[in-house]
Structures are given as structure tokens and as C-alpha cells.
């Protein structure tokens, strides 16, 4: 299936996510995480992009990058290829380290920058890691210090919360619910004029979008939602569920766990589909092509 070219322009903000090939834990070792982080720094200096947050997990990476004049595709090509070369040499292997098509979703900086920072920093929490927000391989701790460094643009994000840096750090802690000990997945808006309070609603717009995809796929395939969430091994329904999973991977931030629950299928099946381990049929390709060609779903 032909892939659409990425939208790239100076100042564009991208949420980048890249996974280990076939879901492999290619970043499990701290040394490999350090190498990957050093490569981000190297290419940031070379290509002059901005990075607002990151989280390096064992089998995938999240980054929030604003490109300058160098396209995001060239930035990611440099980082990914350099890491692949070092990784393969280190472990005496060949072939792909990451899935070939990383996810680069273009985002509205004014509307979503804060929410995406929160989303990325919450990844270890969502994964159930014991360190939670104190996870060593995310940019969260740098926000607590409240100042830029050679890699991270902290001040711009905190400045969206408040002009006063100390107060902005307090608002950031409020946003992450650090002083309550409670898990929180709300979507936040900026403080109103003459107020230092940030407001929140349920985290739907970033994590979801799934309902629209399910409705669209069902309509295009000529089936009812109830049919595809019914436990069945009929190939046609299995293919339709694969289309939903693949489009959700490309156009939303829904987690594997939540998607498995929505579609009433095993979590392992969602993981296999997203990793490419479970191959789709010609019907899957044709249905995805039809939906994307009609422009029904926008990245």
C-alpha cells in the first residue's frame, strides 16, 4: 500500500513514536538508552530542532519535536540509522532494529503541547513501572528543575503555564498530580486570565478518536459495531478488527489495553497486529486504502 508523504514545514510540532521491530525490547539495557539519548543530542545540535519531552521505554520511544528547516524525516533517519548501526555492531546482528515506519503525528502546539508533555511523561505510569513518574529515562525530572539544558526546551512549556518560573513549576506539579499521589489522565487547558489555576477534563481527544475510526470502518465495511465486538473467528470480522487496530495505531493514542477491551479481543492479539506479527489479508489493505483515499480520517 502506498504511503502518504509526511507533512513537513518549519515550526511543525510532531509527536514521534518508534517501536522495536516486532515489539522487541531493543532498548532494555540502560547503556542502549544512553546511546539513543546521545544520538538525539547529536542530531539536535546538527539539525537545530527543538525537543520538548521524551520517554525512552524498553521497546519504544516517545519524543515531542519541533523541526526547523531540516525535515523531521531526515532527523529521524539520522537518529534511527545511527542507532541501528551501533546496536547491530554491538550485538553482532543484522537487519532492522526498529519498525520501518515510525509514527510522526503532527500536532497543534497551542492546543496540545501541554497535554502531550503530560501524556509522554505518564508512559511509565501507564506501563505500571514501579518508578512511575520518577522513571529515569524520561524528561519529567528536568521539568521539576525548571530550566532548559542542552537537550530539552523546558522554559517554553512552563511559560505556557505562567510567566513566573517558580509558579509555573508548581502548576506543572499540579498538572502531573505530584502532590496528591493520585494517578491522573486528564487533559489540561491553560490558566484563565488573572488565575493561576489550570483546569482539566477527561483525557479523550488525545487518547481516543477510536470511536470515529470504529464507526468509519464499520460503515465502509457494511457491518454493525455489535458484529465486530462479538467473539467470533469469522475471517471477515477478524480483518475488520485488524483495520481498526492499524488505523488506531496511526491516528490515535489509545493504548493496547484499552483497544483490546473496546474490541473484546485478547491484548496479545492487539500487540501482534500493531507489531506486524499478525499479517493482514488483501481485504485489510483494500479497506484501509479506501478509507485513507477518501480522506475520512485525518492525521
Predicted local confidence at residue 279, as pLDDT? 64
Q: Averaged over 242-252, what is the pLDDT?
A: 83
- Fold equal for 13-202 and 210-293: no
Q: If you count DSSP H runs as helices and E runs as strands, how many of each does the chain have, helices first?
A: 13, 6
Predicted local confidence at residue 224, as pLDDT? 92
pLDDT tens, position by position, 104-161: 888 888 878 888 898 899 889 888 888 999 999 999 999 999 989 999 999 999 998 8
Question: What residues contact 150, with CB distance under 8 A and at least 6 apart?
Answer: 41
The more confidently predicted of residues 190 and 58 is: 58
Measure Cα distances from 57 to 36, 127, 155, 207, 241 in Å: 11, 9, 24, 19, 27
Domain borders along the chain are 13-202, 210-293
**Stated pTM of the model:** 0.67
Residue 185: band (very low, low, confident or very high) from pLDDT cuts 50, 70, 90: very low
Predicted local confidence at residue 298, as pLDDT? 54
205 CB-contact burial (10 Å; exposed 0-12 / middle 13-18 / buried 19+): middle
CATH-assigned architecture of domain 210-293: Orthogonal Bundle (1.10)
pLDDT tens, position by position, 217-246: 999 999 999 999 888 888 999 999 999 988
Class of domain 13-202: alpha beta
Amino acid at each position: 500500500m502506498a504511503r502518504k508523504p509526511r507533512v513537513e514545514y518549519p515550526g511543525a510540532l510532531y509527536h514521534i513514536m518508534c517501536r522495536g521491530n516486532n515489539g522487541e525490547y531493543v532498548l532494555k539495557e540502560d547503556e542502549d538508552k544512553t546511546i539513543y539519548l546521545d544520538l538525539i543530542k547529536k542530531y539536535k545540535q546538527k539539525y537545530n530542532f527543538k525537543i520538548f519531552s521524551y520517554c525512552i521505554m524498553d521497546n519504544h520511544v516517545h519524543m515531542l519535536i519541533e523541526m526547523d528547516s531540516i525535515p523531521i524525516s531526515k532527523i529521524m533517519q539520522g537518529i534511527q540509522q545511527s542507532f541501528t548501526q551501533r546496536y547491530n555492531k554491538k550485538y553482532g546482528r543484522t537487519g532492522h532494529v526498529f519498525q520501518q515506519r515510525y509514527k510522526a503525528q503532527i500536532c497543534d502546539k497551542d492546543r496540545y503541547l501541554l497535554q502531550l508533555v503530560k501524556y509522554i511523561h505518564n508512559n511509565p505510569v501507564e506501563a505500571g513501572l514501579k518508578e512511575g513518574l520518577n522513571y529515569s529515562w524520561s524528561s519529567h525530572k528536568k521539568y521539576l528543575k525548571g530550566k532548559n539544558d542542552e537537550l530539552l526546551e523546558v522554559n517554553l512549556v512552563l511559560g505556557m503555564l505562567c510567566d513566573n518560573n517558580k509558579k509555573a513549576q508548581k502548576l506543572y506539579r499540579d498538572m502531573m498530580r505530584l502532590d496528591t499521589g493520585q494517578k491522573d489522565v486528564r487533559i489540561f487547558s491553560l490558566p484563565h486570565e488573572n488565575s493561576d489555576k489550570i483546569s482539566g477534563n477527561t483525557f479523550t481527544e488525545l487518547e481516543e478518536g477510536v470511536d470515529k475510526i470504529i464507526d468509519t470502518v464499520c460503515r465502509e465495511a457494511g457491518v454493525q459495531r455489535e458484529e465486530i465486538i462479538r467473539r467470533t473467528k469469522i475471517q471477515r470480522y477478524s480483518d475488520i478488527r485488524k483495520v481498526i487496530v492499524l488505523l488506531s495505531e496511526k491516528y490515535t493514542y489509545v493504548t493496547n489495553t484499552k483497544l483490546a477491551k473496546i474490541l473484546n479481543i485478547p491484548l496479545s492479539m492487539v500487540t501482534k497486529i500493531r507489531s506486524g506479527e499478525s499479517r493482514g489479508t488483501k481485504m485489510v489493505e483494500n479497506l484501509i486504502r479506501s478509507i485513507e483515499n477518501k480522506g475520512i480520517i485525518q492525521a
